[in-house]
Chain A
Amino acid sequence: MVRIVIDPVTRTTGGLRFAAEMRDGSVVDARCSGTTYRGFEQMLVGRDPMDVVYYTQRICGMCSTPHAIAAAGAVESLCEASGEVPKDALVIRNILNGLAWIRSHVENLYLSFLPDLADPFYWELLKFSDTGTALYGELASRFNVPGYASAVMTAPGSAYADAVRCVKLIGETEAILSGRSPHGPAIVPGGVTARPTASDLSRLKSNYAAIVDFLERRLTAPLSLDQWLANTHAGTPDPNYILDHVNALPLKDLSAGKGWNDMMLFTVFGSRMMSSDFLALPVYIELDTLGGYPLLDQLIGFLNHGAFYRVRDGYAPLDAAQADAYQVAPGFTAGSLQNLFASAESPDPARIAEQVGSSFYTYSGAGLAVPPAGGETIPAGSAADIDYAGQKYSFVKAPRYGGVPCEVGPMARMINSREPFIFNIMKMLHDSNSRFAAGKRYTMTSVYTRALSRMQETLVVARWLGDWINNDLEVHDSARRYCVPVTLKSGRAGACLTEAPRGMLGHWIRVDHNSRIAGYQIVSPTTWNASPRDNETRYGPMELSTIGIKTTPRGNMPGSEANPLSLYHIIRSFDPCVSCAVHTIRGK
């Protein structure tokens, strides 16, 4: 028995610890811990509900906009104003949210997840063939973190540098409408404060073009964004398109100029199925064998709510039954993935409840699973109770949907919308199990599918963003309205569910008879993904997805416990954000 503890897991927002017990070279038990308690919502009790946007957006410096949208939505629901928010305000919120998604995905991919592919371990693995040498050269020269010891260089990779510049550009674009980024003040209950001028609009359009230029250069070249989506996403694309496309790429030269953009490099060499089974290539990093949900006896689900408003006046904050209410439709798919050829189920927000059996909290009542609308949190009050080896081991709670732990985020959304590119990749993985020799077992969901989902979703959202900026946003004139006054009602409750880049985000508010906040509860994406065990000792999704894996994608190599890349790949593929996950409120 060997115990590996990763603490801190870096290149996240901090406060994440992951422990794995290894037996005979495989992970047999895992513990995912949030190690910071922020007491964020406790401070909201007694405050003016209008203030919740500016407070809760400061939960997260990356997802400031989604938190602002959820908080404004909760107050609008409380005030019964959701149906009144003007169209122009919703367009601006969509633009700000779309920019936040693209920025978050670019940051996760280039600053957090992909750099692990430049780890010196892969040099040792790949250096024995020309293709392998060329591949590692590409991985290191594109994805290396500045100052980190890849085997061949210490300067930041070209893609890393490119991404940092793009992140900065996205911040500038957000600020045109939000005042500044992060933590711009433009989103308020009732709408937005911004009134775009003609010069704002022209700056937005030119910045948008530059963002698309980055995405095309990194992810779709030589195809344009529109061409790529037309071939893989729109309508009913040809399932063989992607195979034909990668088949045509030259193996002598893996440079980006030859069609090996970051997405193609990853699609081919991040997968044993694609590289070895289909293309008969000698080198690959089998991320398609890691981080999925093998058919153990524990249930898992994929869950998302609606995201991005329709371009019209008003919206429905919690009406998941209306599949058409949002650009991204709400959905739930059971983890067995038996029903992929039918549509996703429509989720019922009332089935969400949180448990604290393994979290550093207690509930005052007898209930073991408490819905967020009536949620409470009483943190461990003494230092002795905070022991990461104990029965309780995390400041993250365990939300469950009808008792089932759920993965949220880009892959869940792509599964629930049956997005054609990801659907076809998953089908290829599934079919490969029967087509090729025994022992080559792939799960449909894995680190590979998760990262590809994030790439594809970035491109899809970028396309929508173009519509909102170029077609729907208009210059301010006296006929346009951006904000409706909201009237606070006493003794009521409100809620808003939406999607942040990392997955489902919900805010619940209750006010007392003086219209002051009596309770506030937030369930953020990482609360789902990084949740600890629940009262029935079911693992959270990140924990479950590591059970059975070896320390590296090639098994246990000498000394690899001290550099367990499999765990790094899996954890970072979830894009965990512990700042968001450990806020919690004392209800009552």
Chain B
Amino acid sequence: MYTISKTMVTGFALGDGMDTERQKDGSGLPAFGRRTFLTMAAAAGAAVFLASHAPAVAAAVADADKKILWLRGAGCGGCTASFLNGGNPDILAAIENIRIELSYHDGLMGQQGIFIDEKQGNTERFNSIARMDNLINAGGYLLVVEGAIPNGPDGSGKYGVIGSRIRNGQIESLTMKTAFRDAAENADAILAIGTCAAFGGISAAGGSATDARGVAYTGSSRFKGIMGELGMKKDVINVPGCPPHPDWLLLTIADMVTGAPIETDDYRRPAAFFREAVHTSCPRRGYYDDARRDGSLAEGRCLYNLGCKGPVAYADCPVRRWNAGASMCTQTGGPCIACVEPEFPDAFSPFFSRIEDRNLLGGINIDTGAKIILGGAVLGAGIHAVKRIAIGDSDREEEPPKEKGKRGL
């Protein structure tokens, strides 16, 4: 089982049964202080779990009273927008009542960076950069990274500047790369949210000259993550998605601030959310099984022939649905584009081309590939075979051997 850091799990009696942890207030609700929400959410079904246990989740997180430093690099702000769509616990309740203290977030905070001549203006009450410095110096926070980290030009990181600061009596640009390095150094735990921060995502798509990197990975390569570039070694949890579902974010944050162990897959995604292929529970799955597949958009049936990547994308969108259960991509007729996968978008575009036409299968015979997919739709093992090919087998060899076998599935 993968744990965030040694210090955070000290004193945790892993494997405690729920029976021994009933709350003493007579509510009958399990006490969550030592539990991982993700595991329980997976067991109970996340929606049911959240509906029935939101107050208990809130209570557990309230005890943790953890500060969050949220850095935003090259991205669109969509992860924050999705975060604000948070269903359960309601995001304001999370900030107000359960005291997840969002100490630094440049899109939401009251302060701003302010400098007069070559001096920092004001204190952290008014100055966001002073606040960031103080947080980093105090340490012990959860670092949330949104957006990719530009490394260009020439490794300077100056394609991504997120503020100014004073060094040696002079004002200078603070790059996302430098801010990340400083903040990661003193963080208790690191969470990369969205596919840009987790894997580079859209920001690192082929053709871009910014040399944008994910935190721990770029694509499926750990060597190319910004931490590899900086020579840092720290544990990172990835919650990808373009955007990530707010439940994924809030539950993972809840787990991390309470120091619970998180079971992850090969790419350090919480297994509870990224275990099953989208295809498995797709609302249009019946049409697939009946071989009624649309040849043009907006016909209402299976989207496989329109390029749907649901069979090779691993996320619980179909059972969770989006925006408080309103819908999801394939339900509304949009093909899945596998936005949670390490090699998104390049391995999955053209988005409207079938998986086998896309040469996703690394040059193996198209007929064979199609059979793997068709078989894989029924047999999980087949799917994994296809997936391993799809995400780029060659890069996987770069992973140190000890990382293998950590898969918690």
What residues of chain A have their CB less than 8 Å away from a CB belonging to chain B? 2-15, 17, 35-40, 42-48, 50-51, 54-55, 58-62, 64, 111, 115, 144-149, 155-156, 161, 164-165, 167-168, 171-186, 188, 190-195, 203, 379-383, 386, 388, 481-483, 485, 561-564, 568, 579, 586
**CB-based A-B contact count at 8 angstroms:** 300
In whole angstroms, what is the CA distance A96 to B85 when docked? 16
- The answer to whether A38 and B298 have CB atoms under 8 Å apart is no
- The answer to whether A54 and B337 have CB atoms under 8 Å apart is yes
Instruction: Contacts A38-B203, A175-B323, A563-B122 given; indicate if A47 touches B349 (C-beta within 8 A).
Output: yes
- The answer to whether A172 and B324 have CB atoms under 8 Å apart is yes
Chain B residues within 8 Å of A562, by CB: 114, 116, 121-122, 126-127
In whole angstroms, what is the CA distance A161 to B207 when docked? 41
Residue of B nearest to A89 (CB): B298
Q: Which of A13, A148, A184, A190 contacts B109 (CB 8 A)?
A: A148
What residues of chain B have their CB less than 8 Å away from a CB belonging to chain A? 72, 74-82, 84-86, 90-92, 95-96, 101-103, 106-117, 121-122, 125-128, 150, 153-154, 156, 158-164, 171, 173, 202-203, 205-210, 242-243, 296-298, 300, 322-324, 326-335, 337, 339, 345, 349-353
B72 CB, nearest partner CB in chain A, Å: 5
In whole angstroms, what is the CA distance A364 to B116 when docked? 38
- The answer to whether A182 and B82 have CB atoms under 8 Å apart is yes
- The answer to whether A35 and B207 have CB atoms under 8 Å apart is no
- The answer to whether A7 and B96 have CB atoms under 8 Å apart is no
Chain B residues within 8 Å of A46, by CB: 207
- The answer to whether B107 and A13 have CB atoms under 8 Å apart is yes
- The answer to whether B77 and A60 have CB atoms under 8 Å apart is yes
- The answer to whether A5 and B150 have CB atoms under 8 Å apart is no
- The answer to whether B164 and A5 have CB atoms under 8 Å apart is yes
Q: List 8 A-B contacts (CB under 8 A).
A: A4-B115, A146-B95, A171-B85, A172-B324, A176-B327, A185-B329, A195-B300, A383-B154
- The answer to whether B109 and A35 have CB atoms under 8 Å apart is no
Given A145-B108, A168-B86, 4 other A-B residues pairs in contact with their CB atoms under 8 A: A386-B153, A483-B298, A563-B114, A579-B77
- The answer to whether B297 and A191 have CB atoms under 8 Å apart is yes
B204 CB, nearest partner CB in chain A, Å: 9
In whole angstroms, what is the CA distance A579 to B171 when docked? 24
- The answer to whether A39 and B113 have CB atoms under 8 Å apart is no
Chain B residues within 8 Å of A179, by CB: 322, 327-334
**Most chain B C-beta atoms within 10 Å of own C-beta, residue among A37, A48, A203:** A37
Residues of A contacting B: mostly? loop
- The answer to whether B327 and A164 have CB atoms under 8 Å apart is no
In whole angstroms, what is the CA distance A488 to B259 when docked? 53
Chain A residues within 8 Å of B162, by CB: 8, 14-15, 35-36
In whole angstroms, what is the CA distance A46 to B113 when docked? 40
B363 CB, nearest partner CB in chain A, Å: 20
Instruction: Contacts A11-B108, A62-B81 given; indicate if A48 touches B298 (C-beta within 8 A).
Output: no
- The answer to whether B77 and A165 have CB atoms under 8 Å apart is no
In whole angstroms, what is the CA distance A39 to B74 when docked? 10
Instruction: Contacts A37-B159, A185-B335, A383-B154 given; indicate if A180 touches B92 (C-beta within 8 A).
Output: no
Instruction: Contacts A38-B210, A155-B96, A563-B114 given; indicate if A61 touches B77 (C-beta within 8 A).
Output: yes
- The answer to whether B114 and A194 have CB atoms under 8 Å apart is no
- The answer to whether B205 and A145 have CB atoms under 8 Å apart is no
Chain A residues within 8 Å of B81, by CB: 61-62, 171, 181-182
Q: Which of B76, B156, B205 contacts A13 (CB 8 A)?
A: B76
B129 CB, nearest partner CB in chain A, Å: 8
Chain B residues within 8 Å of A62, by CB: 77-78, 81
- The answer to whether A485 and B76 have CB atoms under 8 Å apart is no
Chain B residues within 8 Å of A148, by CB: 109-111
Residue of A nearest to B203 (CB): A38
Chain B residues within 8 Å of A59, by CB: 76
- The answer to whether B161 and A15 have CB atoms under 8 Å apart is yes
Q: Which of A7, A64, A194 contacts B332 (CB 8 A)?
A: A194
**Most chain A C-beta atoms within 10 Å of own C-beta, residue among B158, B210, B345:** B158
In whole angstroms, what is the CA distance A388 to B173 when docked? 8
- The answer to whether B333 and A193 have CB atoms under 8 Å apart is yes
Residue of A nearest to B196 (CB): A58
In whole angstroms, what is the CA distance A48 to B15 when docked? 51
- The answer to whether A382 and B154 have CB atoms under 8 Å apart is yes
Chain B residues within 8 Å of A149, by CB: 110, 125-126
In whole angstroms, what is the CA distance A180 to B156 when docked? 37
B375 CB, nearest partner CB in chain A, Å: 27
- The answer to whether B160 and A161 have CB atoms under 8 Å apart is no
Chain A residues within 8 Å of B95, by CB: 146-147, 156
In whole angstroms, what is the CA distance A45 to B353 when docked? 18
Q: Which of A10, A60, A165, A193 contacts B334 (CB 8 A)?
A: A193
- The answer to whether A579 and B75 have CB atoms under 8 Å apart is yes
Residue of B nearest to A53 (CB): B351
Chain B residues within 8 Å of A167, by CB: 84-85
- The answer to whether B300 and A165 have CB atoms under 8 Å apart is no
Q: Which of B82, B107, B242, B351 contacts A14 (CB 8 A)?
A: B107
Residue of A nearest to B245 (CB): A180
Q: Which of A164, A180, A563, A579 contacts B91 (CB 8 A)?
A: A164
In whole angstroms, what is the CA distance A35 to B74 when docked? 10
- The answer to whether A54 and B76 have CB atoms under 8 Å apart is no
In whole angstroms, what is the CA distance A184 to B332 when docked? 9
In whole angstroms, what is the CA distance A172 to B321 when docked? 11
- The answer to whether B207 and A45 have CB atoms under 8 Å apart is yes
Residue of A nearest to B346 (CB): A43
Chain B residues within 8 Å of A381, by CB: 153
Chain B residues within 8 Å of A185, by CB: 329, 332-335, 337
Instruction: Contacts A11-B108, A37-B160, A145-B110 given; indicate if A180 touches B115 (C-beta within 8 A).
Output: no
Residue of B nearest to A580 (CB): B76
Chain A residues within 8 Å of B92, by CB: 146, 156, 161, 164-165
B297 CB, nearest partner CB in chain A, Å: 5
Residue of B nearest to A145 (CB): B110
In whole angstroms, what is the CA distance A155 to B99 when docked? 11
- The answer to whether A61 and B163 have CB atoms under 8 Å apart is no
Chain A residues within 8 Å of B114, by CB: 4-6, 562-564
Chain A residues within 8 Å of B90, by CB: 165, 168
Chain B residues within 8 Å of A147, by CB: 95, 101-103, 109-110
In whole angstroms, what is the CA distance A15 to B113 when docked? 12
- The answer to whether B79 and A17 have CB atoms under 8 Å apart is no
Closest 5 CB pairs of A and B: A185-B334, A61-B78, A148-B110, A193-B333, A383-B156
- The answer to whether B326 and A176 have CB atoms under 8 Å apart is yes
In whole angstroms, what is the CA distance A63 to B85 when docked? 15
Residue of B nearest to A190 (CB): B297
- The answer to whether B113 and A186 have CB atoms under 8 Å apart is no
Residue of B nearest to A562 (CB): B121
Chain A residues within 8 Å of B208, by CB: 38-40, 42-43
In whole angstroms, what is the CA distance A557 to B333 when docked? 58
A425 CB, nearest partner CB in chain B, Å: 29
B212 CB, nearest partner CB in chain A, Å: 8
In whole angstroms, what is the CA distance A563 to B120 when docked? 11
Chain A residues within 8 Å of B335, by CB: 185
Chain B residues within 8 Å of A176, by CB: 326-327
In whole angstroms, what is the CA distance A44 to B114 when docked? 37
- The answer to whether B297 and A193 have CB atoms under 8 Å apart is yes
- The answer to whether A35 and B173 have CB atoms under 8 Å apart is yes
Chain A residues within 8 Å of B171, by CB: 5
Q: Which of A61, A172, A191, A380 contacts B298 (CB 8 A)?
A: A191
In whole angstroms, what is the CA distance A13 to B72 when docked? 9
Chain A residues within 8 Å of B72, by CB: 14
In whole angstroms, what is the CA distance A50 to B350 when docked? 8
In whole angstroms, what is the CA distance A203 to B210 when docked? 43
